Structure 1
């Protein structure tokens, strides 16, 4: 299921962070360096190590294109590097010179957020290398940061345990005590749930902390309805502080309430983890000064995960889960009716045209029809999963097994012909989020195609 394929032992002190682009792996350490490796053979690149920081490097991250690498340090600076050449592009000093603990690019690469030990958070313009906006939290160091997939908001986490949500104008939308002993990391799922008719969007956010917990939150934001952050669940499995959490690039790997696999190779605390964007690789960094590269079997993990999801996200939905789902479908007005009638996941799947009209007294034919279509989509998904086909292998448009999967600029994979037809009819919108596509370029998803072919060879002999 998961295999250790390579160990990097070049750092002379604790590894604090690791990050992937489509072709490179970056690592940083208390030893003041940033190192770059090729994903083809894990050989260190000629410019590496990158030496400019004068104190420990706490965090590193690639821009979405992978062309620029950012790193931040106790020395109070955030440095932008050219990923291919290792050349320093800019050194940006945190206001007040406080140690910078975390940095993250916005999804469109326009801005870079940096959070510091004095609670300050800065948005830097990545073209001019100038300070764009800044803010601060009242208590604690900022040690975690994550942008929503759309980039219209981002979240910071503090050593005091607070999650703070900011909009793209640097206005504080919400602050909440999330972890009693302090937050260590947070990450958004790349897969938003969206209602195309009303523009309502939901994102899943994961946070972890010194309290040994990983928590899942549901985040929604519209200019009409405003912002909302809801606690969803707590993931168990750790008996010590959780120092890092990350969603896989398809947004699914962390989204399960079951431990899929436990990695035990490191000899000291694991401080960081990262998924590769286009290959089934996971990197983990540790206080033992090493970085381990793991390869996981996409088919096995997806199948096991989706079997768990089949149970967790359908029959075992709570009444609150059903309410969240209704809102995601733009059926907010039905939440009260469903709560009064104690409709949980099992009852939801058993609803019929007659029960909607006679028992729940939903008068609108249009609303009943829409709800039935959404419920049928759930049933179809359950049927596809129970047939043994991992949902990642099914095109979101056709709901059929993909033969020629491609990745669109929204990050989702589709059957090539289906998404081409969609774009020709719907212009520049995402079939999954209904948001404008940044680009019409479709990239062959060779990794997914190989996984589908392996699955076919095994299951359809």
Structure 2
């Protein structure tokens, strides 16, 4: 039995990653921010969102103690945040400022690992924040530590899985583990030690639409064997994310086919059942569904968090209503369509909202105390969109912080609505924002001029889309695309 607990819709762009600590849920997005929620009631922490990255945030993870939250971005940096304050504790930069796609911290919080587009994985001493080494492989898009912390696994766009020891030595390379590329890998929390050997399970997924379960047997000083246990084919399109439960009994995966599948980890065969829920879809029209980009499981509660390109996060309860925290319902496998239902007012442009729509939105955003002010002043959508610091003060909102929160929420709402219906080709691939001055780069793709120029100036001489070297940095104005965007904006 699976039921939705809450739907979080605070990000203004597609979800990249989500993760749990024992007390918190963290999410990150292409909108350059992270958000933190209390895992008990999923209320947003006062200091959320966290802003510090210059480009979209691709991955986030907690340290095992939950005190630290780490995030990595296209800007080539890993930021270490204090999870209880949102304070930036450290900024670690890739030696060549290469865009970072994935990061992980070892179970004992001694090592930090980040995978980059240039084909390197950088390893830092987490305590001293010093760079230890970089290892060369293909473009790294997946990584995880073994549950014992003595080994780590990397996955690349070529489809290989590689196992390394803590001394940054390659122990094993599983060639073509996933055809067309690995997208994610995750180690089960349990491991066994026999003499000098460590054995643990690994889940990996990829562009081949498969989820695979492996047994990794690593021994000192330099031996490792990977054995394929199961190949799960419940998805019909590339699988983008996978994760084990804290007891290792189930593994969850999310896919381009817009479904999430939950498998009993020990079984050798899974049959996907018909969809059992339809809770996520993009704002109509049209009612199109979006890819599931990330999945995560709570270590202490029966929660599954799933993020999508529709900008929302769903938190699901898995198990019987009376099941205790940490105990999961054993299931063979099932999947559910990933959609988001929007309230009625969200289907309208802000300027078309009624007074009741405004009041409903304030409640959804945790600003219930402002309902009375807006009601007394007959604030509708048009007037809400025109609020500024001065007019907000005239509404009788005495708290400067509360006025600031309201204005930030309004700006985020306007930004979301301005691009929510925009065709994907009108959005810059780097910032995922509506382009104002589109230019064509040497890779054939169109970008916002400022974004691609900043990308190139940052010593990134590779394509943001293909990771291949750019033969030239010459940019050509895309006048036809600019005219198309102008016509589309006029029609809105």
Q: Is the 8 A contact 2:318 2:328 kept in 1?
A: no
Tell me the residue number matched to 1:349.
none
> 1:272 and 2:294 equivalent?
yes
Tell me the residue number matched to 2:216.
219
Structure 2 unaligned blocks of 5 or more: 252-264, 281-288, 334-492
Tell me the residue number matched to 1:46.
46
Structure 2 Cα separation of the partners of residues 128 and 226 of structure 1: 29
Structure 1 Cα separation of the partners of residues 279 and 141 of structure 2: 26
Structure 2 Cα separation of the partners of residues 124 and 224 of structure 1: 22
Shift of the alpha carbon at 1:227?
1.3
Q: How does 1:402-417 map to 2 (within 5 A)?
A: none
Q: Deviations over 1:44-101 (max 9, x none)?
A: 1111110110100000000000000000000010100000000001111111111000
Q: How does 1:12-161 map to 2 (within 5 A)?
A: 12-137=12-137, 139=138, 141-161=139-159
Q: Is the 8 A contact 1:260 1:305 kept in 2?
A: no
> 1:187 and 2:192 equivalent?
no
Say how many residue pairs are matched.
Answer: 304
Q: Calculate the TM-score normalised by the size of structure 2.
A: 0.59
Tell me the residue number matched to 1:247.
244
Mark the CA change 1:303 to 1:27 in structure 2 (over 3 Å): closer, same or farther: closer
Structure 1 Cα separation of the partners of residues 86 and 114 of structure 2: 20
* Partner-residue secondary structure (3-state), 2:239: coil
* Partner-residue secondary structure (3-state), 1:246: strand
Shift of the alpha carbon at 1:40?
1.9
- Pairwise CA RMSD: 2.1
- Of residues 304, 310, 313, the one that matches 1:288 is 310
Structure 2 Cα separation of the partners of residues 270 and 264 of structure 1: 13
Shift of the alpha carbon at 1:225?
8.1
Structure ranking higher in helix proportion: 1
Mark the CA change 1:224 to 1:36 in structure 2 (over 3 Å): closer, same or farther: closer
Tell me the residue number matched to 1:399.
none
- Of residues 169, 172, 176, the one that matches 1:171 is 169
Stretch deviating more after TM superposition (64-73 or 157-166)? 157-166
Q: Is the 8 A contact 2:250 2:330 kept in 1?
A: no
* Partner-residue secondary structure (3-state), 2:47: coil
Q: How does 1:319-358 map to 2 (within 5 A)?
A: none
* Partner-residue secondary structure (3-state), 1:124: strand
Q: Deviations over 1:204-226 (max 9, x none)?
A: 11100011000111100112682
Structure 1 Cα separation of the partners of residues 21 and 216 of structure 2: 26
Tell me the residue number matched to 1:413.
none
Post-superposition, which runs of at least 4 consecutive aligned residues in structure 1 deviate over 4 A? 259-264, 298-303
Structure 1 unaligned blocks of 5 or more: 308-461
Structure 2 Cα separation of the partners of residues 79 and 225 of structure 1: 32
Shift of the alpha carbon at 1:304?
3.9
* Partner-residue secondary structure (3-state), 1:95: coil
Mark the CA change 1:264 to 1:173 in structure 2 (over 3 Å): closer, same or farther: farther
Q: How does 1:446-457 map to 2 (within 5 A)?
A: none
Q: Deviations over 1:104-140 (max 9, x none)?
A: 0101011110001111111111222111222110x3x
Q: Deviations over 1:295-316 (max 9, x none)?
A: 1116598564499xxxxxxxxx
Q: How does 1:309-388 map to 2 (within 5 A)?
A: none
Tell me the residue number matched to 1:327.
none
Shift of the alpha carbon at 1:264?
4.8
Q: Calculate the TM-score normalised by the size of structure 1.
A: 0.63
Mark the CA change 1:63 to 1:296 in structure 2 (over 3 Å): closer, same or farther: same
